[in-house]
Amino acid sequence: MDWAEEYLSECLAGIPKSKYRARLRGELEEHLALLERDLETVGYAPEDARREALEQMGDAESLNEGYRAEWFRQPERRRWDLTRELYGCLLAGLSVVVLFPLFGMLWNRWDTPLRHPPTWVFGAVVFLCAALPNAFFLRYVFRGRKDCRIQLESGLCTTWLLGHGLMWLLIAVVYQKSPFALPPTLRYSDRQGTLWWYTQSFVIWTCAGQFVLGLFFPLKRKEERTHERSET
């Protein structure tokens, strides 16, 4: 079915690898093969039969709209979304868990003529290091979807909260204290300037930052925007 490959790809564009995609592809492939066979039986030349089969199947672009709408209704789609959000969470959660202590250590050992750069600069850099890869990942995974912005927003905020939750839990294990009592304990018992990164107010404000980032993060890549502009 090499002759139908391009057509099928167009029909199934935007439907990610899933059981539903495989099923739909299988049905369309078989349908095309049977249609081609029957057209040849009634006297079409092979090339004409293929062209006619594609014609009778319908315009790939409008079929694609229907297939995508149907994929959106599939229960498998919700599972698929959730697993991708989870991958995003793992990605950014790991960044939080690894980057925060790492940057904290760097901040504490910083030795330059300026001495310490402002801690908020470090905080902002860590924030962006953890948030941006996740934002790019989520945009890639949910590209072309109507709810891309919502997925991006929920992914970024959930990830941030879960990442910090994990961080708190780790610190709680290390310090052997309740995770809820932890931030003030750390803040007041230690002179390290980076410890406010683990406080509730920091998490809440940076979560708001994630929300704002999700609000303004471009949903299309630069090439896609350029392509659209050149088309118009």
Whichever of 31 and 187 has its CB closer to another protein, that residue is 31
Cα dist from 225 to 10, 89, 133, 172, 228, whole Å: 20, 28, 20, 46, 5
Binding residues with another protein: total (CB under 8 A): 23
Does 9 engage in binding with another protein (CB under 8 A)? Answer: no
Copy the structure tokens of residue 154.
Answer: 């929920």
Q: Which is nearer to another protein, 66 or 184 (CB)?
A: 66
31 makes contact with another protein (CB under 8 A) = yes
Orientation angle between helical segments 148-175 and 75-109, nearest 10 degrees: 50
Binding of residue 61 to another protein (CB under 8 A): no
Residue 35 found at the interface with another protein (CB under 8 A):
yes
- The secondary structure of residue 176, as a DSSP letter, is T
Residue 79, number of CB atoms within 10 A of its CB? 12
- The interface with another protein within residues 159-188 (CB under 8 A) comprises none
At 63, list the tokens: 């079929």
For position 13 contacting another protein by CB under 8 A, the verdict is no
> Dmax of the chain from CA atoms?
88
Stretch that binds another protein, among 67-75, 107-115, 153-161, 202-210 (CB under 8 A): 67-75
| Calpha distance 207→197 (Å, rounded) | 12
Span near another protein by CB under 8 A; candidates 24-32, 87-95, 97-105, 192-200? 24-32
Min dist CB 137 to another protein, Å, is: 29
The Cα–Cα gap between 77 and 80 comes to: 5
Contact residue for another protein among 9, 14, 46, 69 (CB under 8 A)? 69
Using the rule CB under 8 A, give the single segment among 29-37, 89-97, 127-135, 204-212 that binds another protein: 29-37
C-alpha–C-alpha distance, residues 80 and 40, integer Å: 40
By CB under 8 A, is residue 39 in contact with another protein? Answer: no
Residues contacting 49, CB < 8 A, separation 6+ = 36, 39, 40
Min dist CB 54 to another protein, Å, is 9
By CB under 8 A, tell whether 74 contacts another protein. yes
